[in-house]
Amino acid sequence: MATTLAEAAEDIRTATTHAARIEHVSKSFAGPAGSQLVLDDITLDVAPGEFVTLLGASGCGKSTLLNLVAGLDKPSAGAIATDGRPALMFQEHALFPWLTAGKNIELALKLRDVPKAERRPRAEELLELVRLHGAYGKRVHELSGGMRQRVALARALAQDSRLLLMDEPFAALDAITRDVLHDELTRIWRERDVSVLFVTHNVREAVRLAQRVVLLSSRPGRVAHEWRVDIEHPRRIEDSAVAELSVEITEQLRGEIRRHGQH
């Protein structure tokens, strides 16, 4: 919380000009051999309405950074500010199996103190948004993997956050389902005008979705490189422009992995 007038003014400026501001953030964890530095001096902004993907080798700290932005953990150094409370979506859908699809979404609405009479209509609207009309009463076991992730997305959107944090949400899906959900996420992002910070290890997925791709170095994670993605929508994962930029980014990623292997 701000403790001075200057800090309060800066909080207001941050909230109005950035969906997220990450300033000189580092994170260490205690290990058997002592403190281990996972993230080192990360500075990154996400603008309102911007779609940013985070790439990097396994263990570089992508998910750790996302958890810090979500407020699930605190940085060892530096500061993070967001425009309101972010909504977080994981690789696993994390739906409650004893609740229906609609009731899972209603739970998020309840936590926002949405009146009970309004919850079902809003849940059904969100299911409609993610192309699951009529799925309100379905149990989790009745839904395919792609449908479960759609419900998880609807539940995240139910939080009415301006910033959506996504940690490899489509990694466990088959290629065709993932491709369809790329289209759906792009549509929803543009319709709802939310900001997205999306973690992935898939270079083509990063290029297909994002306006900006950020590459983290191998541990400790630092911002190694950024790319603006000036490819018009709709994009396909097999588009030549997507493939061309993916090759460039993959070469940079390989270089980071090789450097890490020499340490």
Distance in angstroms (rounded) separating the CA atoms of residues 177 and 164: 21
Task: Identify whether the C-beta of residue 163 lies closer than 8 Å to the C-beta of residue 87.
Answer: yes
pLDDT surpassing 80 at residue 9: no
Task: Identify whether the C-beta of residue 234 lies closer than 8 Å to the C-beta of residue 201.
Answer: no
pLDDT at 7: 52
- The reply to whether the predicted model has a pTM over 0.85 is yes
DSSP structure class, residue 140: G
99-145 pLDDT, tens per residue? Answer: 999 999 999 999 999 999 999 999 999 999 999 999 999 999 999 99
Averaged over 219-248, what is the pLDDT?
A: 93
Q: Which residue type occupies 214?
A: V
pLDDT at 260: 66
Helix and strand numbers (H, E) in the chain are 8, 9
Q: How far is CA 109 from CA 82, 86, 115, 139, 247, in A?
A: 21, 15, 8, 18, 42
70-79 pLDDT, tens per residue? Answer: 999 999 999 9
Task: Identify whether the C-beta of residue 165 lies closer than 8 Å to the C-beta of residue 197.
Answer: yes
Averaged over 192-218, what is the pLDDT?
A: 95
Domain ranges across the chain: 18-86+162-263, 96-160
Residues 231/234/237/243 CA torsion (nearest 10 deg):
-20
Distance in angstroms (rounded) separating the CA atoms of residues 179 and 236: 8
Averaged over 186-190, what is the pLDDT?
A: 94
Averaged over 207-217, what is the pLDDT?
A: 96
Q: How far is CA 35 from CA 27, 32, 38, 61, in A?
A: 10, 8, 9, 15
The more confident residue out of 57 and 208 is: 208
**Which residues are CB-contacts of 252 (< 8 A; sequence separation ≥ 6)?**
215, 224, 225
pLDDT at 233: 87
Averaged over 11-36, what is the pLDDT?
A: 79
Distance in angstroms (rounded) separating the CA atoms of residues 187 and 184: 5
Strand partners, 203: none
pLDDT at 19: 94
Residue of 125, 89, 120, 88 lying closest to 107 (CA atoms): 120
pLDDT at 57: 85
Query: How confident is residue 263, by pLDDT bands cut at 50, 70 and 90?
Result: very low
pLDDT at 172: 87
pLDDT surpassing 90 at residue 51: yes
Mean residue pLDDT of the chain comes to 89
The more confident residue out of 27 and 94 is: 27
Residues 25/30/35/41 CA torsion (nearest 10 deg):
-10
Q: Extract the tokens encoding 159.
A: 């939080």
Percent of the chain at pLDDT exceeding 90: 77
Window from 66-70, 88-92, 124-128, 175-179 with minimum mean pLDDT: 88-92
Q: Extract the tokens encoding 100.
A: 């229906």
DSSP structure class, residue 142: G
pLDDT at 240: 95
Strand partners, 29: 36
Distance in angstroms (rounded) separating the CA atoms of residues 58 and 75: 20
Averaged over 179-190, what is the pLDDT?
A: 94
Determine the topology of domain 18-86+162-263 in CATH. Rossmann fold (3.40.50)
Q: Extract the tokens encoding 91.
A: 């690789």
